[in-house]
Amino acid sequence: MTSRERVHAAIDHKPVDRVPLDMTISYTAHNNLCRYMHWDHLCVDTASIWSVAFPDPEFHEKMNLDCVYVGLNPPSGTPPLHFNVDETYTNEFGQSYRKTIASTGAVSYDFTNTPAGDWTLEDLENWQMPDPLDDAIFDGLYERCRYIYENTDKAIVGYFGASLFSVSSHIRGMENWYVDLMTEPEFTGLFMRKFLDYYTKMYNRALDIAGKYISFLRTEMDDFASQQGPLISPLVFREQVKPLLGQFYGALKAKFAEVNPRGRLMKHACGDNSAFIDDYIDIGVDMLDPVQPNTALMTRDFLSKYRGRIAFHGNINTQQVMPYGTVEEVWEDVKDSLRHLAGPSGFICGPTHHILGDVPPGNIIALRDAVLELGQVKDGRLVKI
């Protein structure tokens, strides 16, 4: 199977020859790995505000990854982030960041303000959102996707950034936001509807431009849980958030139906999301990222509980095993992940979150090698597990 065929089959719960391998990787970790492997020409000098690198397709070929991620640009009037160079940065929503450097040398950017911290409902009503159809946002998108599609066999992932809930909380201030949910539902509802309108228009334009090449979208980055359980009650989620997310996913499904019926939707949501998985299925999520192994989330019954209903993405421990474990422990973690989540379809294996700069390059190679060997499937069964 080609990578593209393998990824589509896994998401659709169809037979695969090998469990697909995917990963997102930070600027620091990517460059550390490239130097370790003597691929210095593949080092990058840019990354997203979340430190995520968008490597050259050659990197994905060398790493035997099955997916390539493609992003969008900032709108007109918002300069691009010169990662690792700019000391501060302000995005199109007025959110400001400051560069920090960890003891490992990893660079990140942290919030420094809450633009809507003192807003009233009237202030929010009068807030003029940026133009989601600004041509600058989509510049080069078609060319990048077409090149990857025609020159590799990789599945293309649209990583366009979107959030109704979490970005609203960042701009408002998290303490204010969670109080507002209980005391000012009209305010939080309007906040999320503004982002719903913004991102629906932006995604529809992106899919019109390049959707025929995209295998799946890594959609909004809203987090509703910590590692100990929900951040908000499932009742509040279902009453205030789920209907809006349902509109967003419904719009994306409808657009994919026009431009690429094989296109699928992956939701990113950190933490123990077990209270919300049935809701995600209800609103059209095809695949959940991640399944965190170090949460209260119980993964051992997922195959029987959700087989054929939703696929899973991630699960390799990025908090302990990847940064601090041995190569042998990485292999054991991959084996455990495949045993409990590979059906042997319905699962794309990879790190739980972005691989950060504290992960030894040898452990990243071990992750790759373990999935390639232990993820082999024959006659519907994992060959070596």
Q: pLDDT tens, 63-103?
A: 999 999 999 999 999 999 999 899 999 999 999 999 999 88
Q: pLDDT tens, 137-184?
A: 999 999 999 999 999 999 999 999 999 999 999 999 999 999 999 999
In angstroms, the Cα distances linking 256 to 83, 205, 213 are 32, 11, 11
Reply yes or no on whether the pLDDT at 55 is more than 70: yes
Q: pLDDT tens, 176-216?
A: 999 999 999 999 999 999 999 999 999 999 999 999 999 99
Q: pLDDT tens, 277-292?
A: 999 999 999 999 998 8
CB 271 within 8 A of CB 223: yes
Helix axes 174-183, 185-210, angle to 10 degrees: 110
Distance of CA 174 to the CA centre of its chain: 21
Q: Which domains does the chain have, with CATH numbers?
A: 3-382 (3.20.20.210)
pTM score, two decimals?
A: 0.96
Reply yes or no on whether the pLDDT at 296 is more than 60: no
* Pairing relationship of beta strands 214-218 and 377-378 according to DSSP bridges: unpaired
Amino acid 8: pLDDT: 98
CB 51 within 8 A of CB 354: yes
